[in-house]
A and B are shown apart, each in its own frame.
Chain A
Amino acid sequence: MNLRRDVFQAIADPTRRAILLLVASQSMTAGAIAANFDTARPTVSKHLQILTECALLQQEQNGREIYYHLNAKNMKDIADFIEPFRNMWDDRFNKLETVMKNYQAKK
């Protein structure tokens, strides 16, 4: 599938992965993102363009500034984002169940 290849291309670069991590915690302008890297500003812009084309990032106009955030708008994407979140909680609750079963067995 075309989209899949694009996403792999997008995350193939360490700078682009670092950008995804940055905007996962808060939406940021291109300038604020670029400030985190030694790379030249046009290079960062190119990375942002690729991430946006792959639909991993979404642009949002806020006054004169364009903010970038992780694309969690469309439902299909939300489902993709939710899976690791669900796995994290599932692992945590499996641990709870194991700990409490051991506790119960010892009583």
Chain B
Amino acid sequence: MERKTKIQAEEGQQDLTIIRTFDLPLELLFKAYTDPELLSQWMGTKVLKLDNKVHGAYQFETTDPQGNIVFRANGCIHEFVPEQRITRTFKMENTPFEVQLEFLEFEKVTDDTSKLSMHIVYRSIALRDQQLALPFAQGINMAHNRLQHILNPLK
């Protein structure tokens, strides 16, 4: 599938921007962020709380089949302008990662397409680079586990 998501991350900066064009009308793109049931479906996480308004807050939680919490995140909503903008904080609970500030901007492109730009500001350059590197490090681990899986029977 074509990769439609773009990442802008300058060297030595503590922020990054994720830009994506959707084959969806703006109204539906925005609804994906405000309807707890739909949000839960595409994020693959339980939505414990979603109070989308100024001074509102949200909390997500994912559990494994045994019921252990494997991911939990929360944040506060600072700005909420329907079909235009959500400004919020994001904090992954029980991790060394510090809170980050997210500016989500929703834009109509055509009647059937829309654009999301997500500007994320981290506390430091190092924290941003760690977030960028995390899927890379996990990828190394997974790739190697697969390799081991293939190679082990050959021993």
Main secondary structure of the interface of B (DSSP, over half): helix
**When the two chains form the complex, which single residue of A78, A85, A95, A100 contacts B134, counting CB atoms closer than 8 Å?**
A85
Main secondary structure of the interface of A (DSSP, over half): helix
Hey, which chain B residues are within 8 Å of A97, CB to CB? Answer: 22-24
Hey, which chain B residues are within 8 Å of A73, CB to CB? Answer: 11
Query: A104 and B130: CB pair below 8 A?
Result: no
> 27 A-B pairs, CB-CB below 8 angstroms?
A11-B140, A20-B140, A24-B133, A69-B129, A70-B136, A80-B136, A81-B129, A81-B132, A82-B7, A82-B9, A85-B131, A85-B134, A86-B5, A87-B3, A89-B5, A89-B7, A89-B18, A90-B4, A93-B5, A96-B29, A96-B42, A99-B38, A99-B41, A100-B31, A100-B32, A100-B38, A103-B38
Number of residues of chain B lying within 8 A (CB) of chain A: 41
In the complex, chain A residues 70-86 whose Cβ is within 8 Å of any chain B Cβ? 70, 72-73, 75, 78, 80-86
**Residue B44 interfacial (CB < 8 Å):** yes
Q: A85-B135, A99-B42 known; A17 and B24 CB under 8 Å? A: no
Hey, which chain B residues are within 8 Å of A96, CB to CB? Answer: 22, 29, 32, 42
Residues of B whose CB lies within 8 Å of any CB of A are 1, 3-7, 9, 11, 18, 20, 22-24, 28-29, 31-32, 38, 41-44, 95-97, 116, 126, 129-141, 144
**When the two chains form the complex, which single residue of B9, B28, B133 contacts A100, counting CB atoms closer than 8 Å?**
B28
